[in-house]
Amino acid sequence: MSEADGQGAVVDRPVYTVEPWFVREPELRIDRLAQSESVFALSNGHVGLRGNLDEGEPHGLPGSYLNSFYEQRPLPHAETAYGLPESGQTVINVTNGKLIRLLVDDEPFDVRYGRLHHHERVLDLRAGTLTREVEWTSPADSRVRITSVRMVSLTQRAIAAISYDVEPVDESIRVVAQSELVANEALPDLGKDPRVAATLESPLVSEEHVANGTKVLLLHRTRNSGLRMAAGMSHEIEGPESMAVDTESSADVGRLTVATRLEPGQRLRIIKYLSYGWSSQRSRPALHDQVVGALAGARQTGWDGLLKEQRDYLDEFWQGADIEVDGDAEIQQAVRFGLFHILQAGARAERRMIPAKGLTGPGYDGHTFWDTETFVLPVLTYTQPGAAADALAWRHMTLPLACERATQLGLTGAAFPWRTIRGQECSGYWPAGTAAFHINADISDAVIRYVDATEDERFEREVGLEILVETARLWRKLGHHDVEGVFRIDGVTGPDEYTAVVDNNVYTNLMARRNLQGAAAIAMKHPDLADRFGVTTEEAASWRDAAAAMLIPFDERMGVHPQNEGFTNHARWDFAATKPDHYPLLLNFPYFDLYRKQVIKQADLVLALHLCGEAFTPEQKARNFEYYEALTVRDSSLSAQTQAVIAAEVGQLELAHDYLGETALLDLHDINGNTRDGLHIASMAGGWSGLVAGFGGMRAAEGRLRFAPRLPGGISRMAFRLRYRGNRLKVTVTGESATYELMDGPGLKVRHHDEEFTLAPDGKPVELPIEQVPSPPPSAQPIGREPAPRRIDPHGRDQRIRDHR
């Protein structure tokens, strides 16, 4: 919804106010309803509820999800070929328990009718609740005030709860409230964009429905995947003595109805407890009892108890994760918003995946990708390490399927899927899917990072070792030593999906080298387990030999590392002739044209500069960054955060700030226009990465934390907290100095730029100066693909460019 100002220009009002700890929607924006449903989604990693209005209509996209609960569907191919997956998996909208419909003197409460005097929704990032306040006059002139508070429990995994209050404003009213469970809701057509979900009609088949007192239970199974789920609701009702209460159930609908008359000063309150469970193996009675038991536990805790548990959980999280930003209020809000949703995506996933959209929407069919291990798990590893361990344990559980896939492809070891829900490959486009073997190294890198950050030896033995061993076996089979003894990995796709099936992608080779070295090291550390998995001395030696001989291409003529062999010889994409509305390119140009040009969808070689920084000199980093900036169009939301980190490292602080804004504000500002399909969880991680790894210069390996902090002009102070090896640290950065404080833990050594010091349990904070260095000239981006500047001078010019003149 847009407004015109006095000059005739169109001004789009901000959807949300900018506040440090809240996301507030001060008025209902029907035109942005689907975006807000994603932004206001609540989850705990097991249950996810989109932020739909309580009454269900109007809606952009209804959505209630259970992690890894999916329906199977055929995956058609224009031409059949060996090794292509035959079926796909799609997350489905499960039984909706959010619904509470209201009639006021026989008029349904619907914001599209009558008069809406006030409508505000607030997501509280410390309380973990979504609050809605409404004042509405019905078409029959009955005025009512409605307040609802919604939560998905971070402490009781199966539970969500809603408090729903109705009050008359100035005169007596008759109200009827209907609390419902509804399965097989009709969903809108989401179009043909490959990034959205396939729509499945009526995927749930009823097995049982029960209504008893104020409790209702519905059980369903999926038609094809054979999964079973149950949803239950139970209620506490407060109101006038004269109330009529009734419950009923049918195959796809359960309903509790409360009817009463409210005089001024009276209130009807309904506390609705929801419980969800699913299983691929448990019987219908067992699942029934599980959900009923969870409801009993929630009612015993009570509404106030659930709120207290939620606040206590989040208080503990923020003690080890919060980031404070002075000077950029939008970034301050956005980074906390991102951390909150990252926590929600993985807090109680408990050996299930973290999807690309979390549980906020059906985008990408609910699949998980390499995004999780490369972008999301670093945040969780240093803020909520238990959630990172659970996500990697899920990968370990799917390892037999990955080994089966490798065998099908004629390889040894494990070939983890490019996209999946339950561990099977679901990508029907093999150049960007099957050929992207770097996912093996991404998972192994996350294992190595987690073990380094936690010293969790049990995890290392029970989960990490087997993952590292089986992924190393794949690289040893996939690659080969050429006649000169160099180890090559040919015919693969790196992170950049606009350059597919190439030889010796630098990112892939560097990450594979780390994978091989890590596998050899862990086998030596745990010879008993290595022997159990059949690792011989000769095999471990072959991993070390392959790592030592790994080919890392370098173009002496251009003075840069080519993204892959021959990349710098390709023709450059004609950016000047590309219309702004032809981005993203993948929706407007054939892949064969993209594959043979120098045009980059997302950071690839630049991602290697971040994750494998030790392989490059400072001069190479600066030169590589400048070269690839001119080619990267950022058609992937994953790119900006990596560009922010490396821009900061090479001294382009204002450009880093611009990229930080793009990644952190992607969903709050709906920059890509597709937040309706769910939040971009990996992009949200970019807020943390841009600040901590970018402006904080944080790197960690082999038991050492390193920082190289520097701030852009638009941020005057930054403080962040993280966890490392049993320590909780706080790092505060200003323009002149950085202060390191050990909040609790046994202590550790830390490096600040080139100076090493020790943080001891009984020591004081250490403050060290930040060396001021000249900023290099800003790098150029493809025409029309520059990030929006975070700093504007009074004359409206880009402050980033002016600062460097």
Confidence of residue 552 (pLDDT cuts 50, 70, 90): very high
The CATH number assigned to the domain holding 313 equals: 2.70.98.40
Position 395 in a domain: no
Report the candidate in 185, 350, 200, 179 with the shortest Cα–Cα distance to residue 277. 350
pLDDT band (50, 70, 90) for residue 766: very high
pLDDT at 81: 76
The predicted-structure confidence for 641-674, as pLDDT tens digits, reads as follows 999 999 999 999 999 999 999 999 999 999 999 9
Judge whether 391 lies within some domain: no
Q: Is residue 113 part of a domain?
A: yes
pLDDT given for residue 74 in this prediction: 82
pLDDT at 8: 32
Assess whether pLDDT exceeds 90 at residue 245. yes
**Number of domains comprising the chain:** 1
Could you list the residue range(s) of the whole structural domain that residue 208 is in?
Answer: 18-318
| Position 198 confidence tier, pLDDT thresholds 50, 70, 90 | low
What is the C-alpha separation between 310 and 594, in angstroms, rounded?
Answer: 48
Record the pTM: 0.95
List of E strands, 427-577: 480-481, 487-488, 571-572
Name the residue with higher pLDDT: 685 or 796.
Answer: 685
148: left (phi over 0), alpha (psi -120 to 50) or beta: beta
Rounded to the nearest 5 degrees, what angle is found at the Cα of 43, between the Cα atoms of 722 and 246? 150
Three-state DSSP state, 654: helix
Indicate the helix (H) or strand (E) that contains 688: helix 681-688
Domain annotation covers residue 324: no
* Cβ contacts of 600 within 8 Å, gap of 6 or more: 496, 498, 499, 563, 628, 631, 632, 633
What spatial distance separates the first Cα and last Cα of the chain, rounded to whole Å?
39
Instruction: Tell me the residue length of the chain.
Output: 805
> What mean pLDDT is reported for the chain?
94
Q: Phi-psi category of 559—alpha, beta or left, where left has phi over 0 and alpha has psi -120 to 50?
A: left
11 falls in which pLDDT band (50, 70, 90)?
Answer: very low
How many beta carbons lie within 10 A of that of residue 269, not counting itself?
16
Q: Are 323 and 331 in contact (CB under 8 A)?
A: no
Q: Which pLDDT score, from 0 to 100, does residue 199 have?
A: 55
Q: What is the DSSP-derived secondary structure letter of residue 143?
A: E
Cβ 605 vs Cβ 639: under 8 Å: no
The reported pLDDT for the residue numbered 799 is 47
* Amino acid 624: pLDDT: 98
Sheet harboring 268-279: ordered strands across?
A: 17-18, 22-25, 115-124, 129-137, 143-152, 159-168, 268-279, 228-238, 215-222, 204-212
Residue 792: band (very low, low, confident or very high) from pLDDT cuts 50, 70, 90: low
- The answer on pLDDT for 800 being more than 70 is no
Residues 6+ apart with CB under 8 A from 496: 563, 600, 601, 602, 603, 604
Give the separation between CA 313 and CA 766, rounded to whole angstroms.
Answer: 30
pLDDT computed for residue 366 by the predictor:
96
Helix H or strand E segment including 717: strand 717-724
Which sequence positions are flagged as catalytic? Answer: 497
Residue 77 has pLDDT above 90, yes or no: no
Whether residue 195 has pLDDT greater than 90: no
Q: Give the count of alpha carbons within 13 A of 186, CB side only.
A: 4
Give the pLDDT of residue 192.
Answer: 54
User: How far is Cα 241 from Cα 761, in angstroms, rounded to an integer?
Assistant: 60
User: Bridge-partner residues for 232, per DSSP?
Assistant: 217, 275
**Is it the case that residue 737 has pLDDT exceeding 90?**
yes
Q: Which residue has the higher pLDDT, 801 or 305?
A: 305
Q: What is the pLDDT of residues 487-496, one digit of tens each?
A: 999 999 999 9
In a domain? residue 399: no
The Cα–Cα gap between 163 and 269 comes to 7
Residue 629, in any domain of the structure: no
Residue 57 in any domain: the answer is yes
pLDDT in tens, 341-379: 999 999 999 999 999 999 999 999 999 999 999 999 999
For tokens 């932020």, what's the residue?
A: 51
In a domain, 59, yes or no: yes
Residue 724 confidence (pLDDT) above 80: yes
Nearest 5°: the CA angle 171, 176, 181 is 145
Q: Using an 8 Å Cβ cutoff, are 160 and 49 in contact?
A: yes
